């Protein structure tokens, strides 16, 4: 570049603040015509810039007629410019032109916009929840509104509590559920639903959201079991008497009080994660399985996807490389809350039967009004306070010291404030798998905080919390191999199960060619092959027989129903049938058809749903099942990211929503089986069927 500057012919006066200057033109690196600036990473003229952009954006493909040597020997003293577009484009690439620079800028703009949307969604939920909590802690109502009345916005008089007023646990539960329903009704998309559709959502999910909120409040108050807002035990003494003093009663009540709380404590759930999980749990499109509810199903599904994407983006922003794992861990809370809710339903049913005829404010969302005589515990969310001002960042960064060697440090590395030397030392040991031994038995740090012993220095890094997370490129090949191995093993087991289902039977005298198998026999063998499939999973060998029995009783029928629905989808049928084509009973499989479930997704979902740590397993069994659920959930998320790219997280949450569809189907089967047993008591069932249904 020339250092000379030339002014305009009419130079402005000295009083003018604007100085007009012109640069001498330089040469385009592609065609040697005048060029004034860099375009896409290289000094080019406008003509070459637009040519390169046109080829990239329009995906044009040119072929050279002269073996790609048109620009060979071309220089700025040449008489003419080669007109070969293929060679011209290749010359642009050789000079380093890259349209991704502009694309990266566009993506950054989109990312900033997405971050703003995520922040707006979260802040809106937090604001509504804060208002709800303020009402819960400071007000009450003596009215007894029904769910329909709340949906129709019937005026309910709320009065401010005075210090002398004391509420019973059932009163706290009623008002906690009331404020939760009010919070859910104020979500924006609820305006688009009809009254009947709102009632379906609230009856199914409001109590669960209230339960989760109560557990979250307990966690913030640093308690290990749920209590009311004013500190009372959620279960009065008469509840303990009703259940009797049999073995396991105390464990059952303590599980309701503490189970969800213990999981929240273990995961350290934040306020933002709490409101998003509650919204995801509430937006359950599987509830609208009737064809007439297709509009509501699409609205609720879109909202569930929006909140799921928001939670995923929040996890990525907050936990970076650990974001996907955190996302799956948070979603694993849903079956745990479902299990706790089922325990509450049982407890409420027992109390209703014992206290039949008593009147009080109601909380049951399945009845016409909001509550039974005794209601589930107070399930409110505590006040979520946002900081009044941003944290003070005026501290001079030169005052900060490396926590390892006390030298100046300017940023966090691998999770800890360290200098560059300690950062590279830690990375080098982890990447190269170095193993250093302390010659003083690990006592170097006892003498001085700063040590030259590499063994003690590395242990100091570990103790400070440094964790090395390999980059995506470093993990890609290893993860792909692990994912392929996991999916391949599951597909093999499922293929073996499917083949056995179609060609075999347990009785040696039975053959599909000579005998006519009844629908009862098909149901039995479907359950039998599902049990065999689940028993073949490698981690089952680590469980005790009692844990295996609990897991299989809870899921083998669901696995059989899921496999039957998948088979019906492959055979392009709209209802479940036996293998030989006879109708079992009507059942919509629209969810599977809508999702276009693949064999890989089916195999992974089966195991994810099977590994349910919320069941009453032994402590060792819960640890095994929780770790395996995390393994297969991560594999499913990784598969979705590979197969659907940027739509992977949305696909992942859509697949997990099948959990509610399968549960609903199983409940219908249970009800139908009970009716059939009453109407046809002479029918003899197989032992396995009676054990699991």
Per-10-residue mean pLDDT, the chain, length 693: 42 44 72 87 89 88 87 84 90 84 59 75 86 82 84 81 74 85 89 89 87 85 79 66 64 78 86 89 81 83 86 84 82 83 78 58 40 35 30 43 84 79 86 82 76 86 74 43 61 65 48 46 68 79 83 78 72 55 47 74 84 82 84 84 79 80 74 67 61 58
pLDDT for residue 689:
58
pLDDT for residue 394:
36
H or E element that contains 433: none
Assigned token pair, 109: 């703009």
Confirm if 371 and 364 have CB atoms less than 8 A apart. Answer: yes
Confirm if 151 and 305 have CB atoms less than 8 A apart. Answer: no
Confirm if 628 and 611 have CB atoms less than 8 A apart. Answer: yes
- Specify the CATH architecture of the domain 397-464: 2-Layer Sandwich (3.30)
Assigned token pair, 676: 């059939």
- pTM across the whole model: 0.52
CA separation for the pair 148, 154 (Å, rounded): 9
Residue ranges of the chain assigned to CATH 1.10.565.10: 108-354, 504-692
pLDDT for residue 317:
82
Burial of 617 (0-12, 13-18, 19+ CB in 10 A): buried
| CATH class of domain segment(s) 108-354 | mainly alpha
Assigned token pair, 529: 């092959």
Strands (E) across 304-463 are located at: 411-413, 416-418
Confirm if 141 and 156 have CB atoms less than 8 A apart. Answer: yes
Count of H helices and E strands in the chain? 24, 12
CA separation for the pair 125, 669 (Å, rounded): 37
- Specify the CATH architecture of the domain 6-98: 2-Layer Sandwich (3.30)
CA distances from 624 to 486, 609, 628 (A): 17, 14, 6
> Within 13 Å of residue 670, how many CA atoms lie on the same side as its CB?
14
Tokens 């195999």 belong to which residue?
603
Assigned token pair, 566: 């998948």
pLDDT for residue 642:
81
Secondary structure of 13-52 in HEC code, one letter for each residue: CCCCCCCCEECCCEECCCCCCEECEEECCEEECHHHHHHH
- Specify the CATH architecture of the domain 504-692: Orthogonal Bundle (1.10)
Confirm if 560 and 530 have CB atoms less than 8 A apart. Answer: yes
Assigned token pair, 463: 């103790």
Residue ranges of the chain assigned to CATH 3.30.50.10: 6-98, 397-464
CA separation for the pair 22, 6 (Å, rounded): 6
Q: Please write the tens of the pLDDT for every residue from 76-106.
A: 888 888 889 999 999 998 888 887 656 556 6
Residue 231, φ and ψ in degrees, nearest 5: 95, 5
Confirm if 310 and 118 have CB atoms less than 8 A apart. Answer: yes
pLDDT for residue 48:
92
Nearest CA among 609, 443, 593 for reference residue 537: 609
Radius of gyration of the chain (CA): 33
């Amino acid at each position: 570049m020339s250092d000379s500057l030339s002014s305009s012919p009419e130079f402005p006066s000295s009083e003018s603040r604007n100085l007009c200057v012109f640069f001498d033109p330089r040469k385009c690196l592609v065609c040697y015509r005048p060029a004034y600036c860099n375009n896409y990473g290289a000094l080019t003229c406008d003509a070459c810039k637009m040519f390169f952009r046109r080829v990239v954006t329009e995906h044009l493909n040119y072929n050279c007629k002269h073996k790609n040597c048109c620009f060979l020997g071309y220089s700025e003293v040449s008489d003419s410019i080669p007109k070969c577009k293929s060679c011209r484009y290749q010359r642009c690439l050789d000079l380093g032109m890259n349209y991704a620079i502009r694309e990266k800028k566009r993506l950054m703009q989109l990312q900033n916009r997405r971050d703003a949307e995520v922040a707006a969604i979260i802040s809106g939920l937090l604001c509504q929840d804060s208002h709800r909590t303020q009402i819960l802690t400071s007000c009450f109502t003596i009215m007894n509104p029904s769910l329909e009345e709340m949906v129709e916005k019937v005026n309910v008089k709320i009065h401010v509590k005075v210090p002398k007023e004391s509420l019973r646990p059932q009163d706290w539960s009623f008002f906690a559920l009331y404020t939760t329903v009010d919070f859910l009704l104020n979500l924006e998309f609820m305006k688009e639903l009809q009254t009947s559709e709102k009632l379906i959502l609230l009856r199914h999910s409001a109590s669960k959201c209230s339960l989760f909120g109560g557990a979250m409040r307990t966690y913030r108050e640093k308690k290990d079991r749920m209590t009311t807002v004013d500190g009372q035990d959620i279960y009065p003494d008469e509840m303990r008497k009703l259940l009797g003093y049999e073995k396991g009663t105390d464990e059952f009540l303590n599980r309701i009080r503490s189970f969800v709380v213990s999981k929240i404590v273990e995961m350290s759930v934040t306020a933002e994660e709490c409101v998003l999980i509650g919204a995801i749990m509430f937006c359950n499109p599987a509830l609208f399985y009737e064809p007439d509810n297709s509009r509501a199903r699409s609205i609720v599904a879109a909202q569930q996807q929006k909140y799921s994407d928001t939670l995923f983006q929040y996890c990525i922003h907050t936990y970076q490389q650990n974001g996907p794992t955190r996302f799956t861990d948070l979603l694993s809370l849903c079956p745990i809350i479902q299990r706790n809710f089922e325990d509450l339903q049982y407890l409420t049913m027992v109390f209703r039967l014992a206290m039949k005829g008593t009147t009080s404010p109601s909380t049951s969302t399945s009845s016409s009004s909001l509550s039974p005589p005794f209601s589930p515990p107070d399930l409110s969310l505590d006040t979520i306070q946002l900081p009044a001002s941003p944290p003070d960042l005026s501290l001079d960064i030169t005052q900060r010291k490396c926590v390892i060697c006390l030298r100046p440090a300017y940023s966090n590395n691998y999770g800890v404030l360290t200098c560059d030397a300690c950062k590279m030392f830690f990375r080098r040991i982890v990447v190269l798998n170095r193993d250093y031994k302390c010659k003083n038995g690990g006592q170097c740090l006892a003498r001085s905080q700063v040590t030259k012993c590499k063994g003690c220095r590395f242990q100091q890094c570990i103790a400070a919390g440094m964790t090395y997370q390999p980059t995506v490129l470093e993990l890609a090949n290893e993860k792909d191999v692990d994912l392929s191995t996991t999916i391949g093993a599951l597909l093999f087991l499922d293929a073996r199960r499917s083949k056995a289902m179609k060609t075999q039977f347990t009785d040696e005298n039975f053959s599909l060619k000579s005998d006519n198998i009844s629908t009862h026999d098909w149901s039995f063998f479907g359950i039998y092959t599902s049990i065999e499939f689940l028993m073949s999973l490698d981690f089952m060998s680590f469980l005790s027989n009692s844990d295996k029995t609990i897991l299989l009783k809870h899921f083998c029928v669901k696995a059989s129903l899921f496999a039957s629905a998948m088979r019906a989808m492959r055979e392009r049928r709209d209802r479940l049938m036996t293998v030989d084509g006879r109708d079992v009973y009507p059942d919509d499989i629209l969810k599977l058809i809508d999702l276009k479930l693949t064999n890989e997704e089916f195999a992974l979902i089966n195991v994810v749903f099977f590994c349910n740590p919320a069941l009453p397993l032994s402590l060792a069994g819960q640890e095994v099942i929780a770790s395996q659920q995390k393994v297969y959930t991560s594999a499913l998320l990784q598969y979705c990211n590979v197969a659907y790219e940027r739509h992977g997280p949305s696909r992942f949450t859509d697949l997990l929503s099948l959990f509610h569809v399968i549960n609903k189907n199983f409940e219908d089967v249970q009800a139908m089986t009970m009716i059939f047993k009453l109407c046809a008591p002479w029918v003899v069932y197989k032992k396995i069927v009676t054990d699991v249904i």
